[in-house]
Chain A
Amino acid sequence: MAGNREFFYRRLHSLLGVIPIGLFVIQHLVVNHFATGGEESFNKAAGFMEHLPFRIILETFIIFLPILFHAIYGLYIAFTAKNNASKFGFFRNWMFLLQRVTGVITLIFIVWHVWQTRVQAAFGAEVNFQMMENILSNPFMLWFYIICVVSAIFHFANGLWSFCVSWGITISPRSQLISTYVTMGIFVALSIVGIRAIFAFV
């Protein structure tokens, strides 16, 4: 291991994408989904998360630092690829390209989303149903959120697939095929959760 840390960084990048970032994404989408139960139900759920004890520590170690590492190292990975899907149009090669494209979209979205909600909260704004209602009343922002949320979910779901390969969990072609179906099932299911939540604010 001495000298070259690339293997370690790459595996850490892969692991962080699932634990804790992937788990956080699911948790976030589920909390958002309370919006379908009306304003009060969302505010109660968001308030619960907001008032968790040791919130700053939880946020830092479960959300901020892992995402920061995953994003910066991910950008490096994305831009060291020489994409060739037009020449080699195989399914997995398209997924390889999509994984990188959705990763970059997700990063742009997270920067914007954190600025618009978490940073504003630090400045004294209250993160509640009304805030999201205001943001999503703009049709541009609505589409921006829909595209970005679906991108983030795709990146997570397809990332689960490559996590399984990179750690040597799915080795046989058959297990990799089945995990393609399973992860795409996760993509569809979570997308429904995410989009339902967005439209609950509209």
Chain B
Amino acid sequence: MSDKKTVRFIITRQDNPDSAPYQQEFELDYRPNMNVISALMEIRRNPVDVKGNQTAPVSWDMNCLEEVCGACSMVINGKPRQSCTALVDQLEQPIRLEPMRTFPVVRDLQVDRSRMFDSLKKVKAWIPIDGTYDLGPGPRMPEPKRQWAYELSKCMTCGVCLEACPNVNSKTNFMGPAVFNQVRLFNAHPTGAMNKAERLNAFMDDGGMQGCGNSQNCVQSCPKGIPITTSIAAVNRDATLQSFKNFFGSDQV
């Protein structure tokens, strides 16, 4: 046993949304190319902690396993990130896994990110094309702009930027950095731009853009490298103009 390489995990667990969290330590046999998810699967196969106690398998969310869905985000060694791309070989041991506490914990490492989706609904982060008749083709988007917008569209609503943001917490209702990027993305779309004012006004409302304090943790933490702070400043500029229009402008929409 002693010459066998092992991997140690310290996992913060919580049995239900209201119960107190506690830590549990696990030791697994090392396999080459392990990631955090494969280790969690190993624990699920044999849920016995380091002291030999039989325990319930650790609960976590996952879906795509290739860092495009955002579901498997958790705090790994103090950093919020996706567990699918967290390679065991690159992590310091013992590997500490915690849930992203900015969100309500469902169980163990599983959190409820509904607030992000509610925010997207609030700011109308979509392009309305549904109707009772065919609206025909919309205006074309120039190719360079499409390529630029593609970078913004990489957001997978994973919640890492909200976890890193000092202004997203229980004392405020700030919707979080990700929303700026979505507002900018849909306002930039030629068809989406038709509802630009509506989106901006919604985002100037309760929990809106004013909650940003420019700590810029979001852009540093984003796993997809989205220029979130550029989006923040750009949306701020649009909101400046929109608020002047709202106050001084005409009644024209």
Contact = CB atoms under 8 A, between A and B. Distances in A.
Q: Which of B213, B235, B240 has the most CB of A within 10 A?
A: B213
Contacts of B236: 165-168
B17 interface: no
13 contacts: A4-B204, A6-B206, A6-B208, A7-B204, A8-B243, A79-B171, A81-B166, A81-B167, A83-B166, A90-B217, A162-B213, A168-B240, A173-B229
Given A79-B171, A166-B214, 6 more contacts: A7-B239, A11-B240, A88-B220, A88-B221, A165-B232, A176-B233
Nearest to B241: A168
Given A90-B217, A165-B232, A171-B230, A10 B210 contact: yes
B221 to A, nearest CB: 7
Nearest to A88: B217
Interface of B: 78, 164, 166-167, 169, 171-172, 204-206, 208-210, 212-217, 220-221, 227, 229-230, 232-240, 243, 246-247
B216 A92 contact: yes
B208 A77 contact: no
A86 to B, nearest CB: 10
A168 B172 contact: no
B220 A7 contact: no
Contact of B237 (A80, A82, A92, A167): A167
Contacts of A109: none
A183 to B, nearest CB: 12
Interface of A: 1, 3-4, 6-11, 77, 79-84, 87-88, 90, 92-93, 95-97, 161-162, 165-173, 176
B49 to A, nearest CB: 27
Contact of B233 (A4, A84, A96, A168): A168
A165 B214 contact: yes
Contacts of A176: 229, 233
Nearest to A171: B233
Contacts of A171: 230, 233-234, 237
B227 A96 contact: no
A87 B221 CA distance: 12
B101 to A, nearest CB: 10
Contacts of B78: 87
A11 B227 CA distance: 23
A19 to B, nearest CB: 15
B142 to A, nearest CB: 20
B244 to A, nearest CB: 11
A1 to B, nearest CB: 6
B6 to A, nearest CB: 28
A105 B233 CA distance: 28
Nearest to B246: A1
A88 B79 CA distance: 8
A77 B213 contact: yes
A93 B21 CA distance: 28
A90 B161 CA distance: 14
Nearest to B247: A1
Nearest to B203: A7
Contact of B239 (A84, A88, A168): A168
A80 B167 contact: yes
Contacts of B237: 167-169, 171
A82 B166 contact: yes
Nearest to A91: B216
Contacts of A3: 205-206
Contacts of B215: 88, 90, 92-93, 95-97
